[in-house]
Amino acid sequence: MKPRPFAYCRPETAAEAAVLLAEYGDEARILAGGQSLLPMLNFRLVDAAALIDISRIEELSYIRETGDRLEIGAAVTQAQLLAYPDLAKAVPLLAKGLPFVGHVQTRNRGTVCGSLAHADPSSELPLVLATLGGEVVLRSARGERVVGAAEFQLGLLTTAREPDELIVAARFPLQSPGTGSAFTEVARRHGDFAIVSLAAVAAGAALRLGVGGVADHPAVAAFDGLAGADLDAALNAFVWELGGSDDLHASAHYRRDLVRRLGRRVLEEAQACSA
Amino acid sequence: MLRLTSNQCVAITFMLNGREISGPIEPRMLLSDFLRDELGKTGTHVGCEHGVCGACTVRIDGLAVRACLTLAVQADGRRVETVEGLAGADGVLGALQEAFHRHHALQCGYCSAGLLMSLTALFEQVASPSEAEIRDVIGGHLCRCTGYAGILAAALDVTKVYKEKTTI
């Protein structure tokens, strides 16, 4: 229950962090809030030759609206984002999903980009990013690139990030007028890992549903113009596509049932918000 | 840029309960172990060591955080508060500690230090938190003795809300 030894680097700029990543490659781990990394290090599920602590890098500690996006730097904690005064107006789905992320005590250190980097299939922030079609900004000594959410999270704890790349920011689309959103999840107790989490966005007849906790990554599908029995049938077809398996927390059958029932509920809730 | 090799031992310095302290660390040392084993401040308890139980909760720069999910080196230069700082220098308990005592908000006491630090942070942020806000904060802690009723009553008593209610 104690981590194995590792070197510790605390760069002062993102450029310094990129140089360190180029040097260590996949031998290093980025430490931001540490709320996913430290448990894995304590359990010795993860080994790292070095931790690169980016939590004090000033240039990565910002929340700003640029164009039609809310951009969040890699040093921003979940609690800081939740306290952003315009959040409920700018990206309501984030304001609705964030309270489900861990507990207040872990949100005080856990970062938004760290959640995306960790890529847990039941995690809320990757689900919100995927449902909204946001993107991740990656930087390395080789340059910078932007990857869409759908291409970023590839599977269980697996992303498109190359070993020498650092997530410097995440961009969430600002909600446009006439759009509504809703978020819900089922967990054994509030703050635990979700058994199933659901995010919905509605704009007129356009309906989009994101589901976490069933497949090995957040799954997003469109249900445009559907209602009633047609919507139920489409949700049923969607949930069978997700796969999903039994585990300690819930059976695949239970998870499918949650998606069918709560999927319809969050979509209707999003529609109600959009009016 | 600070760069430490895996077995390098360096001194860190931070404000602990209003007094500057210093001690040796290696990069892998957790803040909870530094507090207990290096400084002898055993008021901060260690339960699950993966952030679930909340026993080790301390405050860093005013925010309630898990000491077991924080490296000691990350506390360098910060302001850390632990349960040892809650009572006055004369040993008189703080208002929240008093309320815990009054409402039997503990039995074995293992979870108490963490709960006290989380609730202290809440009361500093929100002068008169609602029952829902208190429940949300308490939800980040495991207590297997009390069933939480006494803890909630103590917290509500401190907010004075409790006095206006007949039952909880």
Do B68 and B113 belong together in one domain? no
Between chains, do B69 and A11 touch, taking CB under 8 Å as contact? no
Give, for A273, the enclosing helix (H) or strand (E): helix A252-274
A180 forms bridges with which residues in the sheet? A202
Query: Given CB atoms, is B120 within the 8 Å cutoff of chain A?
Result: no
pLDDT at A192: 85
d(CA B33, CA B47): 12
Strand, coil or helix: A97: helix
pLDDT in tens, chain A (275 residues): 799 999 999 999 999 999 999 999 999 999 999 999 999 999 999 999 999 999 999 999 999 999 999 999 999 999 999 999 999 999 999 999 999 999 999 999 999 999 999 999 999 999 999 999 999 999 999 999 999 999 999 999 999 999 999 999 999 999 999 999 999 999 988 888 899 999 999 999 999 999 999 999 999 999 999 999 999 999 999 999 998 889 988 999 999 999 999 999 999 999 999 97
Q: Which CATH code is given to the segment(s) A179-274?
A: 3.30.390.50
Structure tokens at A200: 């919905």
Contact at 8 Å (CB) between A133 and A172? no
- What pLDDT, on the 0 to 100 scale, is given for residue B164? 54
Contact B136 A104 (CB under 8 A): yes
Are A121 and A212 a contacting pair, CB within 8 Å?
yes
| CB proximity list for A80: less than 8 A, separation 6 or greater | A63
Q: Residue ranges of the alpha helices (H) in chain A?
A: 14-24, 37-42, 78-82, 87-90, 92-97, 104-107, 112-118, 124-132, 149-152, 228-241, 252-274
- Cβ–Cβ gap A5/B30 under 8 Å: no
Closest-approach residue (CA) in chain A for B4: A8
Nearest residue of chain A to residue B10 (CA atoms): A8
- A59-173 classified as CATH 3.30.465.10: yes
What percent of chain B has pLDDT above 70? 95
Contact at CB, A39 and B3, closer than 8 angstroms: no
Query: Which residue range is the domain that position B100 belongs to?
Result: 95-163
Planar angle of CA B114, B118, B119, nearest 5 degrees: 115
Domain boundary among B85, B111, B139: B85
The count of domains in chain B is: 2
Q: Which CATH class is domain A7-53?
A: alpha beta
The answer to whether A103 contacts B140, with C-beta atoms less than 8 Å apart, is: yes
Of B5, B30, B136, which has the smallest distance from its Cβ to A7's Cβ? B5
| Predicted pLDDT at A275 | 76
The residues, any chain, with a CB within 8 Å of residue A257's CB and separated by 6 or more, are none
Residues of chain B with pLDDT under 70: 161-168
What integer pLDDT is reported at residue B167 of this predicted model? Answer: 43
Least CA distance to B51: which residue of chain A?
Answer: A39
Distance CA A161, CA A137 (A): 10
**Domain limit, last residue, from B85, B120, B135:** B85
Residues in B 37-96 with any Cβ partner in A closer than 8 A = 49-51, 54, 57, 63-66, 68-71, 73-74
Where in chain A do CATH 3.30.465.10 domains reside? 59-173
Domain annotation covers residue B136 = yes
- Which pair of structure tokens corresponds to residue A142? 């080789």
